[in-house]
Chains A and B, each alone.
Chain A
Amino acid sequence: MILEGKTALVTGGTGFIGGRLVEKLVLEQRCRVRVLVRNFAKASRIAAFPVELVPGAITDRDALESAIHGCDLVFHCAHDFTPDLEGQRRANVEATRNLAELCLEEKVSRLVYLSSVATYSPATVDELTESSPWPASEDAYVLVKRDVERLLRDLHEEKGVPAVTLQPTIVYGPFSTFWTLHPVQRLLSGVVPLVDGGAGICNAVYVDDLVDSMILAAAHPDVTGEKFLISAEKPVTWKMFYQALERAIGVQSTVEMSEAEIRSRIRDRERRSRIAYRVMRRLRSPATWAQLGKVSAVKAAAKIVPDAALEAAAKRWLEHDSRKTVVVDGRARPLALPGPASLQAEKSRSRARIDKAKARLGYTPRFDLERGMDITRRYLEWANVTNNPEAPSAGPTSLLKLASRN
């Protein structure tokens, strides 16, 4: 209990990593915890604990000020995902600057910033360390995370802001949207193509290891101004990662596919979406109906075909594309294509080194893939996101659910 008795502010505490951090700070560290809450609708998980929920977003300086008052520690896990680069940059850089200044005013002993391994993306080196280069990138998230890291480094040097930056890799586990629930939904909904057979390096880290490193970073006397890569002891391949998820939910949904083929199918999907969107927009336009309305049959049809039916028809058309299915065991199954971030990650050939975190923070990862995925499986069964009919949250056989699936 290295943080016992401390008062900690967590931004992003309603999210996946921040949520687990709040749990561990309360249960294992006996900390007093305050969470800045932008959206109360997401606060259910952490509201089970004796935490103080302070309303406000990180972009609201007054809210930050009242949230930080009296705190010993700040864990900055929130990221504002404003879609355009400039907006995202302004929101996150300003918020972090305010937070850092308030840390000095309030004599906060440590500001732990949750950055990302994405700052090194697209990585081409075999061994990724904290001194690896930042290659050219156009990705807003990558660029903004780099800006915030630079800002904290400068504020540490110039003003003595007690900041430590952590750069987690592929964080999975209970409540993870990006690297657990989203891939699981893809595996449940269709066939997941693995880039080049899943040979890419997956630097997966179970959320508890990351959260333990955050607690170490908050307590260690001599690490301000530093950044640390946080991953598991050893990386795995993407094939191993997806196979572990498949076992966890009881499906077999992966196929091998070349990157070129996946990219070509993604382009096709985007093209068809654009066409469908244009058609939908036309159909919605009053001018189109004014034209079509002159035909009496169309006029009659327009009255009885609701928007929802049009949308469903467009969706069916999008789905009934042979390029969107693959044949597995003689049966055509829908293809669950990766998004750009997954595709980028799955191509990785870089192994993240955690030597610095081990040497300087005393970080010792406790979870290999098998152990992390065992807990993740039990979470997925509890969360009713599984193909396992024996899962405790499923209850007796549901005819209504079977009927809606067929």
Chain B
Amino acid sequence: MEANGRTTSSDRVKIAVVGCGAVSELRHLPALAAGDGREISALVDKDEARVRRLADEYGAQHALTDHRELIGLGLDGAIVATPTNLHAPMTIDLLRGGLHVLVEKPIARNLYECDAMIAAAQEMDRVLAVAFFRRFAHQLRLTKTVLDAGLLGTIRSFDIRDGYEFGWPVKTDFPFRREAAGGGVLIDLGVHVLDLVTWWFGDAESFEYWDNDRGGVESDCLLHVAMPGGGKGVIEFSRTRLLRNTAIISGDGGTLEVDLNTSDFILSLSESRTGITGSAFSGNPLAGTNQDPIELFTAQHDDWLDAVLTGGTPAVSATEARRSLGLVVDCYAHRKELELPWIETAALEEAVR
């Protein structure tokens, strides 16, 4: 270890992972193991066999079933990756116990929970970051740079479609229960894009929202937003359909299309009739443009731990995450019914009559 330039065990930041479901097993744990200067000290999950297996695999000293047992173990921080309804109570306990926290997205089910988390972090002077890994994707960072540089001029419109047939290997049914998840595709997948939208363009001035929720959680939704400066956006999310999965942004100065998941990028500038097509990168151009999900999670951990060590602000603080969550909550409060082409409303009315 030391031969690789790594710090010794005692210098390393000691981290716990709370909640050992799919995102911990497939992303956080491998990403922590790949990062420098950090040690997976403790794992917590209510499934004892599972937490023991993963603790053995990653050499974690403590395998626990209650997050409160983490307090007093001399840890520096914890990653909270539990069902959403547990984010607020667990995060607040851990912050009050003196730990810095990186909490999975969405930060909470609603703004009350979110505000209590922000207050606890401020009171204890701890870093509370939110896991929006897309903030670290080369192409999405490049988009921010192009927009901030004004290359596209005044933004007139954008169109973002993000959708897959849901395939995440969930360990429980929590994403499908509103009381646990806070909602469906909008709060789960959509909040990633809404975070990008607020980062790129600011907070929406007005919106109109439709989803297919009929008493459960929505799998499909459509959002129209009006942004400061007059830009209009169309945003669509799905857990049942493979959508385009790009963002197309048009302004007076040109158009940009960026892939939400790969580094692919096209920029066309109107006046010069020039542009560029290719793959985005950050840092060393020769280091490659492909980022696997583990790299993105490691970058996210780096950002959080950097804020912890330097006393700085992480890319997405809880206060920053409150902006996209606020839009989600507003959408749910003002939802309209999304009509699905195979559900014939007239036939339905007749059948029910």
Contact = CB atoms under 8 A, between A and B. Distances in A.
B351 A28 contact: yes
A379 B342 contact: yes
Contact of B242 (A42, A51, A384, A399): A384
Nearest to B163: A384
B215 A50 contact: yes
Interface residues of A, number: 42
B348 A40 contact: no
A174 B344 CA distance: 13
B241 A47 contact: no
A23 B248 contact: no
Given A30-B352, A378-B342, A395-B161, A51 B216 contact: yes
B159 interface: yes
Contacts of A396: 159, 248, 250
B159 A395 contact: yes
Given A1-B351, A384-B243, A40 B215 contact: no
B154 interface: no
Nearest to A383: B241
B173 A55 contact: yes
Interface in B210-224: 212-220
Instruction: Point out which of A55, A394, A396 has the most chain B C-beta atoms below 10 A from its C-beta.
Output: A396
B112 interface: no
B219 A48 contact: yes
Contacts, number: 123
A27 B342 contact: no
B219 A27 contact: no
B244 interface: yes
A26 B241 contact: no
A400 interface: yes
Contacts of B239: 44
A202 interface: no
A389 to B, nearest CB: 12
Interface residues of B, number: 49
A359 interface: no
A395 B234 contact: yes
Nearest to A366: B347
Interface string B160-172: 0101011111101
Interface in B196-247: 212-220, 234, 236, 239-244, 246
Contacts of A395: 159, 161, 234, 236, 244, 248
Contacts of B218: 48
B262 to A, nearest CB: 9
A171 interface: no
A375 B347 CA distance: 13
A383 B342 CA distance: 11
Interface string A378-396: 1101111100000001111
Nearest to A29: B351
A117 B252 CA distance: 59
A53 B218 CA distance: 15
Given A27-B214, A28-B351, A395-B234, A403 B277 contact: yes
B184 interface: yes
Contacts of A393: 161, 236, 241, 243-244
A178 interface: no
B266 A399 contact: yes
A156 interface: no
Contacts of B159: 395-396
B259 interface: yes
A82 to B, nearest CB: 21
A37 interface: yes
A378 B345 CA distance: 14
B341 to A, nearest CB: 4
B104 interface: no
Nearest to A43: B176
Nearest to B157: A396
A41 B342 contact: no
Contacts of B241: 382-384, 393
A45 interface: yes
A174 B342 contact: yes
Given A37-B173, A396-B248, A382 B340 contact: yes
B257 interface: yes
Nearest to B342: A174
Contacts of A173: 342
A44 B266 contact: no
Contact of A41 (B170, B219, B243, B244): B170
A174 B343 CA distance: 10
A49 interface: yes
A30 B185 CA distance: 25
B216 A50 contact: yes
B214 A1 contact: no
Contacts of B341: 174, 375, 378-379, 381-382
Nearest to B351: A28
Contacts of A378: 341-342
A49 B214 contact: yes
B235 to A, nearest CB: 10
Given A47-B217, A399-B277, 9 more contacts: A26-B215, A41-B169, A41-B170, A48-B217, A48-B219, A51-B216, A375-B342, A396-B248, A400-B246
25 contacts: A27-B343, A37-B173, A40-B170, A41-B166, A41-B169, A41-B170, A43-B166, A44-B176, A46-B216, A47-B176, A49-B214, A53-B173, A208-B342, A378-B342, A379-B342, A382-B241, A384-B242, A393-B161, A393-B236, A395-B248, A396-B159, A396-B248, A400-B246, A400-B266, A401-B246
Interface of A: 1, 20, 23, 26-28, 30, 37, 40-51, 53, 55, 173-174, 208, 375, 378-379, 381-385, 393-396, 398-401, 403
